Amino acid sequence: MRNKLIFQIAISLLLARWKQTLVAAIGVTFSITMFVTLLSFMTGLNDLLDGLILNRTAHVRLFKELSISKNQPADVYYKNTKGHNFIRSVKPKNERLDISNSGAIISTLQKDTRVLGVAPKITAQVFYNVGSIDLTGVINGIEPLEENRLFKFNDYVTAGNFLDLKNIPNSVILGKGLAEKMMVTIGDVVQVTTSKGERLSLKVVGFFQSGLQDIDKVQSYASIKTTQKLLGASANYITDIQVKLKDILGAPAAAKEFESFYEVDAIDIQTANSQFETGSSVRSLISYAVGITLLIVAGFGIYNILNMMIYEKMDSIAILKAVGFSGGDVNKIFISIALSIGLFGGAMGLLGGLGLSSLIDQIPFNTDSLPTVKTYPINYNPNFYIIGGIFSIITTYFAGYFPARKASSIDPVIIIRGK
Amino acid sequence: MESLNVTKYFHDPVTIKILNDINFSLYESEFVSIIGKSGCGKSTLLYILSTMDTDYEGDIVIDGVSMKGKSEKILARVRNEKIGFVFQFHYLLNEFSVLKNVMLPGLKLGLYSEKEIEHRAYEKLKILGIENEAFKMPNQLSGGQKQRVAIARALINDPLLIMGDEPTGNLDKKNSEIVFDIFQELAQEFKQTLLIVTHDNEFAARTTRIIEMEDGQIIRM
């Protein structure tokens, strides 16, 4: 009842000056619109750029690195003596590159609750034979289905069907740049020589384009079986195990754990691609800063308008107090004026932001390096809307707070006497 | 209502004693006027009695309750419930209709439902003979009508006391007459207590009791 009355008075004061109110509300609307659009667009771009690397990278990659033994015989032998051992020109010993006991590791990992999926991979160094020329390259042996599920492989296959890797024996998907160099089309057969001198003919079933030209010029994909055959290795020969976790932030800890538990080398995505993390966080920081600046400017607009309104309505405030409204009531009246501007402007702004960002979403954006992207990227993260909404209310509250405090402390005697 | 040893100073630009040890009592259904020359402190006294001005020495007792040192909120409640005001200027809110203006203090008090308050407001307007203007906006009314609306607003919560600060000061002879008649009617028929500050001696002469002030002191009561 009491609050209803206060709200009625607030609304009447608002409507009495509806043009000013509208300007203030438009200020909030504009800033919220820009805030939401800016963040959606920026984050969309960020996701796109990060996706170039992050989507295709395992959260934790298990592999075996050829390196010198960490326990040199000299260290073991002289363990209990004082002094340092200096050993120079230590060479790694000739070991197999594959992960031993890979089948057991994979099945254990698949049972781990933190793990979203596991995809084995073989990397093989090869030469592509084009007439009398040999082009160096890499063939990645993958399991097409898992690779697609975890790393969106199909997104980068621009021609042909990635499932043919599995269905057609001795098939290969070539990098676009490589295919152009070799002047082959789908259905052609290419000759491949391994570093150990073994030869194999592979049928081209598709092209892929990663967006990174250097990769497209050397890499191609084949099934695990084909690659094992190419290398003359057994069916459990796996050089990499790619693990995708449910929570990417758990990667560093998981990498450390896997490393000691399975006695392999492990690297997490944060360590391997730290530059992307930095880039995207700085970009979002900038967009938040711009958005919040816009809101604060709108807040000052509301502050000004309310201040003016208080000077205009001095008499009304005085009489309200004379007939029994307390300072707290007057305070509430002006706070509700500010909040209704904030709520109304904010709601319109959120709608406007949604509209503007879906408009941007329609604008064509074609680039060679990103075959799957047709329009400008937009991230419709509900968090932006929540932050925008909350912030519009907070800013308008503070914009109303100081004028309201001033209004509540107006002394009715001075104004009434002054006449 | 009692005023006990009320003294007030004005501090700007130099400290002046504007009210000096004012003592008087006001009883139910009295129609009292305060007269005096300009600057003798009669309006100042009224504002202190009204609880709006709290910067004074001494004490005010309204309906047996001391007003000294009470919080702003409680004083606002007292003004709302027990005191009705009529100023020289009408101070109606232009954003609201006449009826709504009258209803506002009633809605603030919240003793009755909105419907009832509306009905009561309409009754008050009827007493003052301006019920036909109820749904107009204040700026469509003449000065005399506005002042009558202001009186209706003062009456809405059936206050113990109505205070007026030169209520006829802005009105012509005819309208002053109407407003005075209303006050008289309120005093005689409704036993309403009235305390009116005026410099119009003719007006004062027709009230039941006159308090005359000079230089911050009561010289006749």
Report, in angstroms and rounded to the nearest whole number, the Rg of chain B calculated over CA atoms: 17
Q: Quick one: CA dihedral A379, A381, A383, A384, positive or negative?
A: positive
Please enumerate in sequence order all residues whose Cβ is within 8 A of that of A323, keeping only pairs 6 or more positions apart, or say none.
B79, B80, B85, B104, B105, B108, B153
Which residue from A178, A142, A172 is spatially nearest to A160, judged by alpha carbons?
A172
Put simply, the chain B residues between 16 and 45 with a CB less than 8 A from any chain A CB are 43
Render pLDDT for B165-221 as a digit per residue (tens, 0 to 9): 888 877 788 888 888 888 888 888 888 888 888 887 878 888 888 888 888 777 777
What 8-state DSSP symbol labels residue A186? Answer: T
| pLDDT, tens digit (0-9, with 9 covering 90-100), for B17-61 | 777 777 778 887 788 888 888 777 788 888 888 888 877 777 788
Q: What is the nearest CA distance from A290 to chain B, expressed in angstroms?
A: 39
Query: Chain B residues with CB inside 8 Å of A16's CB?
Result: 94-95
User: Domain spans of chain A?
Assistant: 2-54+276-418, 60-269
Task: Between B132 and A385, name the one with better pLDDT.
Answer: A385
Q: Do B108 and A16 touch (CB under 8 A)?
A: no
Closest Cβ opposite residue B76 in set A321, A413, A419? A321
Domains and CATH numbers, chain B: 29-38+71-220 (3.40.50.300)
Question: Which of B90, B91, B147 to mutate: most A Cβ within 10 Å?
Answer: B91
Please return the burial class of A96, using the count of CB atoms within 10 Å of its CB with bins 0-12, 13-18 and 19+: exposed
Q: What is the largest CA-CA distance in chain B?
A: 52
Q: How far apart are CA B103 and CA B157, in angstroms?
A: 9
Q: Does A419 touch chain B (CB under 8 A)?
A: yes
Asked whether the beta carbons of A151 and A56 are under 8 A apart, the reply is: yes
> Is residue B40 within 8 Å of residue B101, measured between CB atoms?
no
What letter does residue A142 receive in the DSSP assignment? E
pTM: 0.68
CB-CB contact of A186 with A159 (8 Å): yes
Residues with Cβ within 8 Å of A18's Cβ and at least 6 positions away in sequence, in order, are none
CA distances from B187 to A128, A211, A318, A398, B182 (A): 114, 93, 27, 49, 9
Instruction: Specify the DSSP class assigned to residue A99.
Output: P
Which of A255, A228, A252 has the alpha carbon at shortest distance from A239?
A: A228
pLDDT value at position B127?
81
A324 in B contact zone (CB under 8 Å): yes
Inter-CA distances, A76 with A69, A70, A73, A82, A198, Å: 12, 11, 5, 13, 41
Q: What is the pLDDT of residue B27?
A: 81
Instruction: Name which of B93, B103, B115, B155 to mutate to probe chain A: the one with the most chain A Cβ atoms within 10 A of its Cβ.
Output: B93
In angstroms, how far is CA A157 from the centroid of its own chain?
Answer: 22
CB nearest to B108's CB, from A318, A325, A419: A325
Bond into A364 cis (ω within 30): no
* pLDDT, tens digit only, all 419 positions of chain A: 467 888 888 888 888 778 888 888 888 888 889 888 888 888 888 888 777 777 778 888 888 888 787 778 888 888 887 888 888 888 887 777 788 888 888 888 888 888 888 999 998 889 998 888 888 999 999 988 888 888 888 888 888 888 888 888 899 999 988 998 888 989 899 999 988 888 889 999 999 887 778 888 889 999 999 998 888 888 888 888 988 888 888 888 888 888 888 888 888 888 877 776 777 778 878 878 887 887 788 778 778 877 887 778 777 888 888 888 888 888 888 888 888 888 888 899 999 999 999 998 888 887 766 666 788 888 888 888 998 888 888 888 888 888 888 888 877 777 777 65
Alpha carbons A401 and A7: distance in angstroms, whole number: 16
Is residue A64 within 8 A of residue A259, CB to CB? The reply is no
B137 in contact with A, Cβ within 8 Å: no
Chain B, nearest residue to A324 by Cα: B80
pLDDT at A406: 82
Sheet architecture: strand order including B193-197:
B83-86, B161-165, B193-197, B31-36, B209-214, B217-220
